Structures are given as C-alpha cells and as structure tokens.
Structure 1
Amino acid sequence: MTTKMKAAQISKYSKSLKAEINEIPIPAIADHEVLIKVKAAAVNPLEMLIIRGEVRLIQDYSFPLTLGNELAGTIERIGKQVKAFRVGQDVYTRLPIRKIGAFAEYAAVDADAIASMPKNLSYAEAASMALTGLTAYQGLHEELEAKAGQSVFIPGGSGGFGQMAVPIAKSLKLKISVSGNAQARERTLAMGADEYLDYSKEHYADLLKDVDYVLDTLGAAEFENELKIIKPGGRLLSLKTGPNKRFAEDRQLPWWKRRLFSAAGAKYDKKAKKKNVQYRFIFVRSDGKQLKEVTKIIEENQVRPHIHTEKFALDDINAALALVATGRPKGKVIIHFE
C-alpha cells in the first residue's frame, strides 16, 4: 500500500470557498479507530460554514484542515480495540465533529462513529445519508423527545432531510405534516406523511394549528410563522436559525461561549417564551449506534436519496463546493473516488 494520499484541504478560514488538493500521508489509526478507503463523500452546506469559520465557536479547527463531514467506503485496517467491524466491510459515517476529513482517499475514523452501509444503497447514496439521517434521528428523539400520538410539522420537508425525517417520525408513531414542492407530494405521502401542503398554493400558517413540534429546515425568516402554529408547551427545533443559551448549556460549553450564544439567540428565545414554546437548535454529532437505527429505517422503507447527476472527482472539489454554495444542486452533490 502506498503511504501518501490526496486530500482537499484549507490552510485558514476564508470567505473564498476554495480548497487545495494536497498530497499528505495516509493517517495512522489509534487503537479505537478504523482506516476507511473512501469510495464516496457528500458535499454539504456545512462545508461552507466551516470554510468561512462560521462554526468556530462550536468547533474551532487547526490547519491544514481536511474538509468533508460524511462518507461511505470500505474498511482497510482496524485498531487493536475494535471488535465490531472487520477489514473489507462497507461502512458509512458522519465523522466526529472534532475530526472531520471525508474529502480524502483515506480517513481514520473512531469505530464508535461508523455503521454498516444500508444494503439497498450504493456508496454515493450511503455517503449522502449519514448527516441527514442522524440530524432527523437526534432531532426527533433527543431534542423534541417526541412521543407517539403527537404531531410534527416539517416545513420545507420535500428535500433530502424530509426523506429521512418522515420515516423516522413515522417509526415514532407521530402525526406528520410536511410542506414542500408539488413534485414531492406523492413520494412524501407514500413514505408516511399524513398531510402534505404545496407551498406554492397553500401557506401552512393559515392552515395548521396546535402542532406539538416544528422541525424547521428553512431558518430565521419563518420563525414567527412557525411559532404561530405550535401549541403552548410545544417545541421548535431549527437546523438553520442559530444556536442559543440552551444549545450552549446542553453541550457544556465554557461560560464565555454560553454568554455569546445566550446573546445571539436571545431574540428567538424571547419570542418563543412569549408563546410558551421552547426553542432549540441542533448541530448533529456522530453516533454509530444511532446510525445503525437509521440504517434499519432506510432498509425497511427502501429510502433512496436524490443524487445530483453531475459526477465530481476529488480534483473537482472547488466546482462541487461552488455548486452547493449556490443552493442549486438537484440532489446531494457527491465526490466519487472510484
């Protein structure tokens, strides 16, 4: 085996969304890690936030930094303490926040962060599911603590996130409403949604009320509309609007970060409190056990993500980043290592 590999890296935080392809040593693995030969890695909006330094208060990285948060591939080597996996196994992962690096030919990953790949998915499809799958899982189970019989609304749920959130919500026996584009109606209802609103014709704030939970994918512009439809004592969880005091406390961040996040999220907390609603923000973490549960749901529901048709190799990383930054891809953008 060669000792060098190619990796897409940045050497500092920067407004220009550009990575360099560098040749670096294949990483050594610790006893609790596995070495994965990467077959596919997904490009997410999270990459932009990391490159621009916008998540440095949540996670500050040292440089040079290999980018990339989720991948699928084959185990090449296992550490001494790793018992649950074997060489040659196909796995996928949302990499630990502290140690990302999916945009490389090999990645050393904590065995607790990986799971066997869903049997119905290709490498490219599996690479695009770990982040959304865990976000939906952690959002519904941990942040919303959703219970059978309660109701959840997912605005903008016709995309990749909704594809995972709907079957996970269904597994919790929730009543599910989704808004999105007309094309995704049948697919979303078939996956288990109880109600689907075409956002071009209907506005959810006029039609829904007394919802237990909102799982927001749209961000701050919809905050007040979302609050309107939640019953007192309900929860609003956002993937986009931004961190607040509770987020900092749940993560046991140092006091100065708690103060910063309290200040940053204060206006949202205040508006939510007025309506007797709890506001929460999620920044998804790696978790192999949860990913195993996500795998079951993907296989049982035959979930297949939409993949953007244009193929990118590692050398095309800047074109892939630019496409995701414009917000116009038709499905998940994938770096292929085949």
Structure 2
Amino acid sequence: MSDTARAAIEMAGVEKRFGATEALRGLDLAVPAGTVCGLLGPNGAGKTTAVRVLATLAAPDRGTARVAGHDVVREAEDVRRAIGLAGQHAAVDEGITGRDNLHLFGRLHNLGARRARERADELLTRFGLADAADRLVRTYSGGMRRRLDLVASLVTSPPVLFLDEPTTGLDPRSRQAIWDTVRELAGGGTTVLLTTQYLEEADRLADDIVVVDRGAAIATGPPAGLKAAIGSQVSVTLADPGQLAATAVVLSSLTGGDAQVDVAERTVTVLTAPGVPVLLPSLVRELDGMAVTARDVAVREPSLDDVFLALTREHADGPAAEGRAA
C-alpha cells in the first residue's frame, strides 16, 4: 500500500479484555484518509473500547493499531499529536467562558499564548459560537456545550478526529449543527471516526460503515451497499382481514420471502431476498387474480435501521458472548 493510499486509521486483529469480559475480539478496521467512518453496534459491542485504543487511552492486548501512520503503542505521543477526541461527555470547564476554554486547550497543546488566543477566535467564529464566547459555559444550552467540546478537539487542526456518540441527548436543531460541523471538517480533509446510536446520523454522514458486535466487525461497506444487501420490504394493507392468508401466499410466491401477518393492522409484510426486484404492477395483478382487495400496497427500500437489526439479530443467533463491554 502506497503512502497516499494508506488508511488514516487501521486496526488489525485487535483484542482487549477487561477481567472476564472480552471487549474486542480481533477487530479489524481501515478508514481511508479524508473520509467519515461510522462505527455502529449495540450497547456493549466494543465501540467505545475501540476508540479508547485508537486514542491511546487503552493498550490493546493483542493485534496492532495505527493512526496517521503511527503505532498506538510504540508511537503514542505521535498519535496524540495527530488526533482530536470528543468523548460521550463534554470535557469543557463550565466555570469559565467558552473563549477561555479554547484558550486553555491551546496552551495545554503548547500553541503559545498569542497563537492560542488567535486559534480560539478562529474556531468560535467558524462554528457559530462567537456571540456566546464570553459567557460562562454553565449558561450554554446542551447543544452549545457539546459543540464547544467538539470545537475544543480541533484546536490543533488534527488530521484525525474521533467522535464518540457526539449528539447523544441533543435536540434535533443541535444535532443538525453538529452534523454540519462534521460535514465541514470532512470536506476539509479531516478523517473522522464516528460512533453513534443514531442510525440516521451514520446514514447521512458516513462514507463507510462498520457494524461491530461482540467486539468484532460483522459487516463493512457504504450505507447504500449495506442496505442493498438485505432486500426491500413489501407490505399490503387489506380491507378484509379474511384475505390475510391469501395475501401472504401471493407475497411469498412473488418475493421468495417469509410473509409476516399482523392481524390487528390487517397488514402482510415480507422482506425480499437481496437483488430480487418487486414490481408493483405485477403484485397488484396477482392480488386482483386472487380477488384480494388492498387498501394500500407499498415497496419500501430498507433503512440503516433495518440493516442494523438484521445484522445484529443474525449475529445474536450465534454462540453467546462471554461478556459485553462499552
């Protein structure tokens, strides 16, 4: 792999155990420079542990990890100089102003007093916090505080940024502001690793997604590719609940999937096999031929929620995990 093609974030066979709990079980990860990677998984899947290893906050027990070309164990100081990190909880000081927070972060990163002040002013203006810069952070809204925390991770203009559930608990407007910030950073060439519980967030922001469960990657690819791999959802809502059984037969025969009947909603739903097209005209003709009266017929492309549920449900059918970790 050439230097230009080298991934900005790499993990190969990384294992991490906390007592009896295996947090990471041979996790592999490769994030190309200048892209956004969404790291998804159930609670306890190992997402936060992966970020901690990459940020040099926890050493791997086995395997290797590199960030910006530097080994996280042998070259930890180089890694720290190359990254920004915004964790699940804001790390800013609520007893001082937003401007003073950024100035403090700059001084801690050895920018010098003058450059730290300049950088604070640049970031406050760039990310829409200039009007609140001289207010105590304790007076900020939750969204503003979270945005300041994100901005603080950018004081040194890091080429790699780790965002661990950056919008948890935020209202839609504040979440949108964080999304806009992430898009701007990625557009400027920053490599972003994003863990999130909001699948819409990953769908909108990520170039590629890695689904993690029980400490290992179980699926990798762009959002559109992952969605295409699980097929479409076809649903028919009926006027007469007595026709549910006949409708289930029609849907199963056309799609090859197992029809699910909801008697209360008078709806039959089936998930098609990947790559199997479902043409509404053909479906309607088949229903007419069975004298089925449909109130509504719909074909819905899968969402990332569907992908997540399908993948993690399938993985849950395998051997039970020995333990769960963050």
How does the TM-score come out when normalised to structure 1?
0.26
TM-score, with structure 2 as normaliser = 0.26
